[in-house]
Structure 1
Amino acid sequence: MTSTTAEGIRGRAAAGDTVVDVDGVSVTFRSRRVSTPALGAVDLRLRRGEFVTIAGPSGCGKSTLLKVVAGLTAPTTGQVRLRGEPVRGPRQDIGFVFQRAALLEWRNVRANILLQAEMRGMDSATARRRCDELVEMTGLTGFEKAMPHELSGGMQQRVSLCRALLHEPDVLLMDEPFGALDALTRERMNTELHRIWRETGVSVLLVTHSVAEAVYLANRVVVMGPRPGTIIEELHVDLPAERDYGETVRHAEFGRVSGRVRELLGSPGGD
């Protein structure tokens, strides 16, 4: 990415300003016979330029919370505001990366990234220029004409990330984006994602089951309890801005925060 583009994003995202407000949001899914509470009353703030990760047990409503923020699921109670405006449906200023890359098999890398531009009616010249910047940033140079089946899982997720960032969203939502990758690839993708976040200044909200991933990536880790999920604790992470993976996982602060997250989740070891 050029410095001009990165500075432009940071110019829109002055540090300390709140970009996402989640106020008393709960979600209950109802059918004819059954009401299933998926998410308890949640209050959460995401500041501009911040990287927040959400950890919690399976089924606690982490993904549901992301979908409410994105405007894909309506809350049963409460409200989400983006830059002070109520979220009442899908937004143009949000990017979303899912666990599966969901690339179109008949489109090459470049065409898959530019699908975002087609859907949003972006200026074609601007979109192509932005696509080139993202391809270079994510290490996809030389693979622009490759088809999805020719790419590894990690490279497919790089394409998905490029697509989500093409329109320069204020907020990037990520739902277990590396959960299907092997451990080594996941570590590399963590390192790349953290670098890309530093370069773009985008505000990120990422859901993960991995304690190590949650702590490595974040400024702040939000821990949720069992369904219906509520936030049981928020932990600030005081690690260096630039993070080598091997050094970071040996850092005392990494150990302190990871230990507390595992304690809250009732998991003394593991990922």
Structure 2
Amino acid sequence: MTMPGDTTTVPRPAPPGAGSVSLRDVAVRFRGKQRDVTALSGIDLDVRDGEFTAIVGPSGCGKSTLLKLVAGLLGPSSGEVLLGGERVRGPRHDIGYVFQRAALLEWRSARRNILLQAEMRRMPAQDARRRVDELIEMTGLTGFEDALPHELSGGMQQRVALCRALLHRPPVLLMDEPFGALDALTREQMNTELNRIWRETGTTVLLVTHSISEACYLADRVVVMSPRPGTITETIEVGLPAERDYTATMGRPEFRDATTRIRELLGAVTAPLE
């Protein structure tokens, strides 16, 4: 409260950054032939600009549905979703999205698969080519620019998909089990690369994963969800430095504490999780 003659200025909260994400009391219900299904209920979540947030929970709890809400591919039954402080009212073309499968066009080279994003967005050709060169170097694809998808390993295909999603410098990157189909060693390598790329780009990342160790290695915070209807059971602050050596991180007490707590929260439903 300001008294007459008081010149003290009350500071206003900073406006949300372009990469901030907020869900306010969000619920999603699907109407079926036999009965209605509630996928999400009472979801309240704030993701800060530039933050890496992972989402874990049992199968069918609505993790992928949550990403679709942020992307504007699905509207909430109630509540609201905000991106950069603006209400999401339809598909958001400014975000990036990486799925479990790379979904590359078999007849296009790695470079031309990345450039497909530029063609769809009608980006200036010179700017797009320059950006592709940056991303190819950033993701370790140098020397494989002209390779067709069948000539690339699974990890390399996912690198191409990641480049494609990052081409337009999205403020928010959504990742839905992007490394789930990879072997364990390649998955570790991709985790290390993703941590480095996130630090270099400053992009806000929301990652859905079934791997508790992957979530805790990559994220600032891990959102733990309940079985359907999905609610947020707890949000875990991992407490690790942004730059993380993979082997060293596995032995840190912050990592062990976070993974242990998540397993406790998930209880008996941790069987399908790593």
Both structures adopt the same fold (TM-score exceeding 0.5): yes
Partner of 1:238: 239
For residues 218-229 of structure 1, the aligned pairs below 5 Å read: 218-229=219-230
* Structure 2: gaps of 5 or more residues: 1-13
Partner of 1:10: none
Q: Using the TM superposition, give the Cα deviation of residue 32 of structure 1 relative to its aligned residue in structure 2, in angstroms.
A: 3.8
Deviation track 1:128-147 (CA, whole Å, cap 9, x = no partner) reads 10010000000000101101
Is the aligned partner of 1:216 residue 2:206?
A: no
Q: How far apart, in 2, do the equivalents of 1:104 and 1:74 lie?
A: 29
Q: How far apart, in 1, do the equivalents of 2:22 and 2:242 lie?
A: 25
Question: 8 Å contact 1:105–1:149 — kept in the other structure?
Answer: yes
What SS does the corresponding residue of 2:42 show, helix, strand or coil?
Answer: strand
Q: Using the TM superposition, give the Cα deviation of residue 79 of structure 1 relative to its aligned residue in structure 2, in angstroms.
A: 1.0
Q: Using the TM superposition, give the Cα deviation of residue 89 of structure 1 relative to its aligned residue in structure 2, in angstroms.
A: 1.3
Deviates more, 1:26-35 or 1:221-230: 26-35
Partner of 1:106: 107
Q: How far apart, in 2, do the equivalents of 1:97 and 1:180 lie?
A: 13
Give the TM-score normalised by the residue count of structure 2: 0.91
* Structure 1: gaps of 5 or more residues: 1-13
Q: How far apart, in 1, do the equivalents of 2:241 and 2:215 lie?
A: 15
- Across the aligned residues of Structure 1 and Structure 2, the Cα RMSD in angstroms comes to 1.6
Q: How far apart, in 2, do the equivalents of 1:15 and 1:48 lie?
A: 11
Structure 1: which amino acid aligns with 2:184?
A: A
Q: How far apart, in 2, do the equivalents of 1:226 and 1:169 lie?
A: 31
Question: 8 Å contact 1:15–1:47 — kept in the other structure?
Answer: no
Partner of 2:47: 46
Q: How far apart, in 2, do the equivalents of 1:174 and 1:206 lie?
A: 5
Structure 2: which amino acid aligns with 1:196?
A: I
Partner of 1:154: 155
**Structure of larger gyration radius:** 2
Q: How far apart, in 2, do the equivalents of 1:34 and 1:159 lie?
A: 41
Q: How far apart, in 1, do the equivalents of 2:201 and 2:142 lie?
A: 18
Partner of 2:189: 188
Q: How far apart, in 2, do the equivalents of 1:109 and 1:181 lie?
A: 19
Partner of 1:257: 258
Q: Using the TM superposition, give the Cα deviation of residue 16 of structure 1 relative to its aligned residue in structure 2, in angstroms.
A: 8.1
Identical-residue share of aligned pairs (%): 67
Question: 8 Å contact 2:114–2:161 — kept in the other structure?
Answer: yes
Q: How far apart, in 2, do the equivalents of 1:133 and 1:139 lie?
A: 10
For residues 43-122 of structure 1, the aligned pairs below 5 Å read: 43-122=44-123
Structure 2: which amino acid aligns with 1:90?
A: P
Q: Using the TM superposition, give the Cα deviation of residue 90 of structure 1 relative to its aligned residue in structure 2, in angstroms.
A: 1.3
Deviation track 1:142-172 (CA, whole Å, cap 9, x = no partner) reads 1011011111111110000000000000000
Question: 8 Å contact 1:15–1:48 — kept in the other structure?
Answer: no
Cα 1:52–1:131 change in 2 (3 A) is same
Structure 2: which amino acid aligns with 1:50?
A: E
Question: 8 Å contact 1:215–1:257 — kept in the other structure?
Answer: yes
Structure 2: which amino acid aligns with 1:37?
A: T
Deviation track 1:174-213 (CA, whole Å, cap 9, x = no partner) reads 0000011111111110000000000000000000000000
Give the TM-score normalised by the residue count of structure 1: 0.92
Partner of 1:199: 200
Partner of 2:29: 28
Q: How far apart, in 2, do the equivalents of 1:110 and 1:28 lie?
A: 40
Q: Using the TM superposition, give the Cα deviation of residue 15 of structure 1 relative to its aligned residue in structure 2, in angstroms.
A: 11
Partner of 1:8: none
Q: How far apart, in 1, do the equivalents of 2:33 and 2:256 lie?
A: 47
Question: 8 Å contact 2:16–2:85 — kept in the other structure?
Answer: no
